[in-house]
Every structure is written in structure tokens, then in C-alpha cells.
Amino acid sequence: MILARSSCPATARVVHKFTVSCREFKPVVRNTLRGFADIRIAEMRLDIKDVAIYAKGESRWAALAANPMIDRTGVVIRDATTGKIQYANIFEFTDRATRDAFSRAVIAAVLELVPDALEVKEGAA
């Protein structure tokens, strides 16, 4: 469940509750990545595809899809130090509290569908 406050002055005190469910989980274990989830926010009639699910130690988080950054010549941009591909957000939350609430709700929904989704299996990773 995500709680979100309206930004409209007339309804600023209204808190909306959104139900988050996981429709599908595709496991992909690589470093902290555990897989990708297809999420539904029922009240908005919104499906969000390929939400990345991460875990490290006791921390778990979800991240909305992002596009790899491309330079003018069409080459993927990589971090000069790590060599990792750089990504640009397609969507982003306007505040940390909402982002964190979304992440918690997505993780709960994934674990409801696939209870062992965040566990690393023997021989994986």
C-alpha cells in the first residue's frame, strides 16, 4: 500500500491509498540485482513493467526502469572509473518518502507472489 498526499491546494490534506500487486517476477541474479517485476497499481489502472528488484545484506529496494545513456555517436556511456553503463531515469518520484513507500510496497508485493524471490540460490550470482 502506498500513501500519497495530493499536491493540489484544494485537496492537500487528502491522502490516497494505492494497492500495489506483483503480476510477474522474472529472476535475474547479478550483483545486487535479484530480478524484474511487473507491478500493478489497481486504483490507477496502471501496470509498470520491469521494475528492478535489488537486495544487499538486509536492504531491499525497487527501482523504476531507466534507459542507458547514449552519446551523440550512438555509443553507450560508461562510468570512467567502474566501466558500468550509465542510466537516465524515465520516471522519478518528486520526494524520497514517496519513493521509499513505493519501494517497500513493491518489495512486499514481490514477496507475496514469490516468497523466496530475494534469496540467492546455490550456484547463482
Per-residue pLDDT reduced to its tens digit, 58-116: 999 999 989 999 999 999 999 999 999 999 999 999 999 999 999 999 999 999 999 99
Grid cell listed for 57:
545484506
C-alpha–C-alpha distance, residues 95 and 81, integer Å: 29
Grid cell listed for 47:
501496470
Q: In the prediction, which pLDDT does 9 show?
A: 59
| Percent of residues, the chain, with pLDDT higher than 70 | 84
pLDDT grade, residue 17 (50/70/90)? confident
